[in-house]
């Protein structure tokens, strides 16, 4: 039988254009913080999983570069890739190693240094994330372009507007302005978002997450070890996972992400809470994958916080600010905190751990009453999806 | 801005990179190192002195009929002889019944627009084009086909409208491909 797994330490670098550090230095910011948080030394870590997509950065084997720089060598390691959901995949693998009894303590480290390449090159790399030959090579789709295909279809079917999408940007910048680790720490107005230039119609500059450098780390331990290490373990209650076709044209519908929907259902089943379209009632706070504003709207629906086609109304009604039905992306989300591809999923888990332990900045701290939080992390354009549920209560008691 | 003066994103980017490289070269001449302070943070950067160009060689042997027919102005795909499953893009193997016995069938050239976007900020390898429209069209067979949309007036595009597939030569690369046009144009 699988063992309970707890988060015993988290670390999170400042996200942004990090021209002040190289890859090893950037990873160390998070690793050193997580070790200190857990009260552990490198020798205690039995395995480290590194999530990093790369291509735009110089180090071809980031796992061993990070291991050497951080003193984790000679422990076992591997790099994992699930596009923008790589971080959650790393957490899942580290979780499985501990749950299975293979090791007692493992860590997931997310890292991306995207600004080692100029923007058109990064746009090129991300645009290739789909079906290279039949989508990119012939038709030059970009990452905003793929999500724009969803935005066009969603707005047409449900009557949402470009203003509705911009409300997600306004909210996430509002909280990003309160997070000293965010890439963008400035609020934006609806007018500013609406008047920004088109990147891939109907998505504008302020609908898009930025090109970000950053790292994050979480240390996981078995239930017994966690109890010895800390009085405040945060438990991983469930991890749902799914994938979808590489080629978007193979999908039937462009108003939701099937993989995210499946991953959410799976996670809710594992936690024994799957019922209806008010799933927000089980959680104090959520981090969702808002690489583009339309993605946040679909996330509400795929997580069953609302019925299909009604996610944008949660934004209109301010239901995802603190004080609403469920605060979402109090870190600033990918939109304002930034989206260092491989670090994002690990960063979500680190953020939610800090939220549950009530140790984030006061003006962006969710009230913690239910003791549960949820992370929704999508890779590519719904190609990969992971939904992770964290709890202050030990799953099996 | 008149048409003659219009510069592509590629020209702008190439110009910026040339200026940047000249700056680093001048730094290297005076310092002996390809280092420079980052424009925003002032943090010291090293400009890579090794670079590669990547360009892939991709096998199309298993689906060569698609290209042979495209040259003849036909738009075809594969259908599994055993279970009848239709695939687009064409593929050599049928994972559904795990057989590899396909026949080539011609596809409809008209369908309904499912969704579309206009790409304004382009990847480097597409940065020589003007803004282009990409759409996904559903054929009566239930197959979706992604391609560029050529439209005289993009603002008239609407989800659900009828589109017609045309086989065209993509300029300036000059290879044969296909694109969608509104059916009434």
Domains defined for chain A, CATH in brackets? 5-117+214-229 (3.40.47.10)
- The residue segments making up the domain with residue B38 are 3-46
Q: Residue A322 has which token pair?
A: 């603190």
What single-letter DSSP state applies at residue B171? T
pLDDT higher than 50, residue B1: no
Number of structural domains (chain B) is 3
* Spacing of C-alpha A339 from chain mean position: 8
pLDDT digits (tens, 9 = 90+) for B146-160: 999 999 888 899 999
pLDDT digits (tens, 9 = 90+) for B16-43: 999 999 999 999 999 999 999 999 999 9
What single-letter DSSP state applies at residue A73? T
Mean pLDDT over B139-146 rounds to 98
Cα–Cα nearest to A122, from A46, A63, A166, A56: A56
The pLDDT of residue B153: 83
> Known catalytic residue: A183?
no
Instruction: Specify whether B20 is located in the same domain as B89.
Output: no
CA distances B144 to A33, A146, A254, B75, B163, Å, are 48, 15, 12, 13, 12
pLDDT digits (tens, 9 = 90+) for B46-87: 999 999 888 999 999 999 999 999 999 999 999 999 999 999
Residue of chain A whose alpha carbon sits nearest to that of B145: A249
Dist. CA A13–CA A89, nearest whole Å: 19
Instruction: Specify whether B172 is located in the same domain as B122.
Output: yes
- Is residue B53 in some structural domain? no
Dist. CA B85–CA A298, nearest whole Å: 31
CB contact under 8 A, B45 and A19: yes
Look up the CATH number of the domain holding residue B121: 2.40.50.840
Low-confidence ranges of chain A (pLDDT < 70): 1, 397
Instruction: Specify whether B67 is located in the same domain as B30.
Output: no
pLDDT higher than 70, residue B4: no
Return the exposure string of A143-169: e unless at least 16 CB atoms fall within 10 Å of the residue's CB, then b: bbbbbbbbbbbbbbebebebebbbbbb
Dist. CA A147–CA B31, nearest whole Å: 46
Closest CB to A140 among B45, B122, B136: B122
Non-local CB neighbours of A142 within 8 Å, separated by 6+ positions: A123, A126, A127, A199, A200, B119, B121, B122, B123
Instruction: Specify whether B93 is located in the same domain as B23.
Output: no
Instruction: Specify whether B157 is located in the same domain as B181.
Output: yes
Instruction: Specify whether B117 is located in the same domain as B166.
Output: yes
- Is residue B132 in some structural domain? yes
- Is residue B51 in some structural domain? no
- Is residue B40 in some structural domain? yes
* Helix, strand, coil percentages, rounded to 5, for chain A: 40, 20, 40
* Spacing of C-alpha B91 from chain mean position: 19
Instruction: Specify whether B135 is located in the same domain as B65.
Output: no
pLDDT higher than 50, residue B2: no
- Is residue B162 in some structural domain? yes
Size of interface A-B (CB pairs under 8 A): 108
- Is residue B54 in some structural domain? no
- Mutation target vs A (from B146, B168, B172; most A CBs, 10 A cutoff): B146
What stretch of H or E contains B7? Answer: none
Non-local CB neighbours of A159 within 8 Å, separated by 6+ positions: none
Closest CB to B114 among A133, A153, A199: A153
Instruction: Specify whether B114 is located in the same domain as B166.
Output: yes
Mean pLDDT over B111-134 rounds to 96
- Is residue B52 in some structural domain? no
- Is residue B9 in some structural domain? yes
Instruction: Specify whether B89 is located in the same domain as B146.
Output: no
Instruction: Specify whether B185 is located in the same domain as B129.
Output: yes
Cβ atoms within 10 Å of A43's Cβ, excluding its own: 9
What stretch of H or E contains A247? Answer: none
Instruction: Specify whether B35 is located in the same domain as B80.
Output: no
CA distances A51 to A10, A66, A193, A396, B39, Å, are 15, 11, 32, 29, 29
* Spacing of C-alpha B145 from chain mean position: 13
The pLDDT of residue B185: 65
| Least Cα separation, residue B4 to chain A (angstroms) | 23
- Mutation target vs B (from A145, A151, A211; most B CBs, 10 A cutoff): A145
What stretch of H or E contains A39? Answer: none
The pLDDT of residue A196: 98
What stretch of H or E contains B84? Answer: none
The answer to whether residue B40 neighbours chain A at the CB level (below 8 Å) is: yes
Interface of chain A toward chain B, CB-CB under 8 angstroms: 17, 19-20, 58, 118, 120-121, 123-124, 127-128, 131, 133-136, 138-142, 144-145, 148-153, 156, 197-203, 247-251, 254
Dist. CA B185–CA B103, nearest whole Å: 33
Residue of chain A whose alpha carbon sits nearest to that of B45: A19
Q: Residue A60 has which token pair?
A: 């071809």
> What is the C-alpha end-to-end distance of chain A, expressed in Å?
14
Instruction: Specify whether B102 is located in the same domain as B115.
Output: no
Contacts of B146 in chain A (CB under 8 A): 134-135, 139, 141, 247-249
Non-local CB neighbours of A17 within 8 Å, separated by 6+ positions: A115, A183, A212, A213, B40, B41
């Amino acid at each position: 039988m699988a063992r309970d797994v707890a988060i015993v330490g988290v670390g999170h670098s400042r996200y942004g254009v990090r021209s002040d550090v190289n890859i090893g230095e950037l990873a160390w910011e998070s690793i050193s913080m997580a070790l200190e948080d857990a009260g552990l030394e490198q020798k205690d870590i039995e395995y480290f999983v590194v999530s990093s997509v790369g291509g735009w950065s110089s180090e071809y084997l980031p796992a061993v570069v990070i291991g050497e720089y951080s003193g984790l060598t000679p422990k076992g390691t591997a790099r994992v890739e699930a596009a923008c959901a790589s971080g959650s995949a790393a957490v899942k693998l580290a979780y499985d190693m501990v749950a299975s009894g293979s090791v007692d303590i493992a860590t997931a480290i997310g890292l991306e240094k995207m600004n080692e390449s100029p923007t058109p090159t990064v746009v090129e790399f991300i645009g290739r994330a789909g079906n290279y030959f039949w989508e990119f090579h012939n038709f030059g789709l970009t990452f905003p372009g793929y999500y724009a295909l969803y935005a066009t279809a969603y707005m047409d079917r449900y009557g949402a507007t470009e203003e509705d999408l911009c409300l997600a940007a306004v909210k996430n910048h509002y909280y990003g302005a309160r997070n000293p680790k965010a890439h963008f720490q400035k609020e934006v107005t609806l007018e500013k978002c609406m008047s920004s230039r088109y990147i891939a119609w109907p998505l504008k500059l302020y609908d898009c997450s930025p090109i970000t450098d950053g790292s994050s780390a979480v240390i996981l331990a078995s239930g017994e070890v966690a109890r010895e290490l800390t009085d405040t373990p945060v438990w991983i209650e469930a991890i749902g996972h799914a994938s979808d076709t590489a080629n978007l044209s193979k999908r039937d519908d462009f108003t939701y992400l099937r993989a995210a929907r499946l991953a959410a259902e799976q996670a809710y089943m594992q936690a024994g809470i799957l019922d209806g379209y008010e799933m927000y009632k089980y959680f104090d706070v959520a981090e969702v994958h808002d690489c583009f504003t339309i993605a946040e709207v679909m996330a509400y629906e795929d997580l069953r916080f609302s019925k299909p086609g009604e996610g944008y109304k949660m934004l209109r009604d301010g239901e995802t600010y603190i004080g609403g039905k469920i605060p979402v992306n109090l870190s600033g989300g990918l939109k304002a905190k930034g989206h260092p591809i491989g670090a994002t999923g690990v960063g979500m888990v680190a953020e939610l751990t800090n939220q549950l332990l009530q140790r984030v900045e006061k003006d962006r701290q969710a009230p913690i009453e239910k003791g549960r939080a949820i992370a929704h992390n999508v890779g590519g354009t719904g190609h990969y999806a992971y939904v992770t549920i964290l709890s202050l209560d030990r799953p099996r008691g | 801005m008149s048409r003659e003066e219009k510069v592509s994103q590629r020209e702008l980017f190439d110009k910026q990179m040339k200026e940047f490289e000249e700056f680093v070269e001048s730094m290297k001449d005076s310092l002996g190192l390809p280092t420079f302070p980052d424009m925003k943070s002032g943090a010291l950067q090293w400009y890579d002195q090794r670079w590669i160009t990547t360009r892939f060689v991709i096998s199309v042997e298993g689906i060569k009929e698609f290209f042979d027919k495209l040259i003849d102005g036909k738009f075809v795909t594969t259908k599994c002889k055993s279970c009848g499953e239709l695939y687009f893009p064409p593929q050599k193997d049928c994972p559904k019944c795990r057989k590899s016995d396909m026949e080539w069938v011609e596809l409809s050239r008209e369908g309904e627009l499912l969704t579309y976007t206009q790409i304004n900020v382009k990847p480097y390898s597409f940065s020589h084009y003007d803004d282009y429209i990409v759409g996904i069209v559903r054929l009566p067979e239930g197959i979706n086909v992604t391609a560029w949309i050529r439209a005289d007036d993009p603002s008239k595009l609407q989800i659900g409208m009828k589109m017609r597939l045309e086989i065209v030569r993509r300029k300036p690369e000059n290879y044969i491909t296909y694109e969608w046009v509104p059916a009434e144009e």
